[in-house]
A and B are shown apart, each in its own frame.
Chain A
């Protein structure tokens, strides 16, 4: 798989349920970021986890990072219909120890939360 691949590609759940999305990557990273995109809109930054962190929380979001497995997961708890969107992971990869902020995005997970 390519850098920053999410699974599943699509996820459909009921309001109130939890949603888990996974991301795998191939190279060493400085950090991994999760973004959300509503249809026809720009990307909204959700959370950034650094390579030396294992877990991070922000409101109903929980992100984990396993650098040994080169994978990350995004958990949205108690989902709402308004969470319906596409979710992308993006990696900021080291290039000789220097990063200029180039993000490599995955294909994304389309999350649909039914009321």
Chain B
């Protein structure tokens, strides 16, 4: 069964550094998402992306965050200048469509630790 894959599985970064989290969504999916889960808290929506542009973003997704689909397979989340509070699990997800009640398929996540 096709899977969403995320790399790296664990990223340790110094505060203030830039970090790029990578995802390969399922190949025939058109909608892509990033979520995060701070330890012990809920999974929170960050951003949805379709047709090479952001469809929706949450208040968490400020100017420090950006997303990109640099080629036909990868989907990336960049945090420009990391803060301690950015430490969390970051999940990428994809769906065939967003309009039409489609399930989202999640990767196993990247654990981001900011020192």
Question: What is the size, in residues, of chain B's interface with A at 8 Å between Cβ atoms?
Answer: 28
B residues 80-115 in Cβ contact with A at 8 Å: 91, 93, 95, 98-99, 101-109
CB distance from A92 to the nearest CB of B (A): 7
Check B109 against A42 for contact (C-beta < 8 Å): yes
| Residue total for A at the interface (Cβ-Cβ under 8 A) | 26
Interface residue? A48 (CB, 8 A): yes
The answer to whether B44 and A105 touch across the interface, beta carbons within 8 angstroms, is yes
The answer to whether A48 touches B101, judged by C-beta atoms less than 8 angstroms apart, is yes
Residue pair A30, B101 in contact (C-beta under 8 Å): yes
List residues of chain B with CB within 8 A of the CB of A33.
103-104
Give the residues in chain B near A102, CB-CB below 8 Å: 33, 45, 48, 56, 58
Q: Kindly list the 10 A-B residue pairs having the minimum CB-CB distance in the complex, ordered from nearest.
A: A101-B98, A100-B55, A105-B43, A42-B106, A45-B103, A42-B108, A43-B106, A100-B56, A31-B101, A100-B48
A-binding residues in B (CB < 8 A): 4, 31, 33, 35, 41-45, 48, 50, 55-56, 58, 91, 93, 95, 98-99, 101-109
Q: What is A's interface to B at a CB cutoff of 8 Å?
A: 30-31, 33, 35, 41-45, 48, 50, 88, 90, 92, 95, 98-108
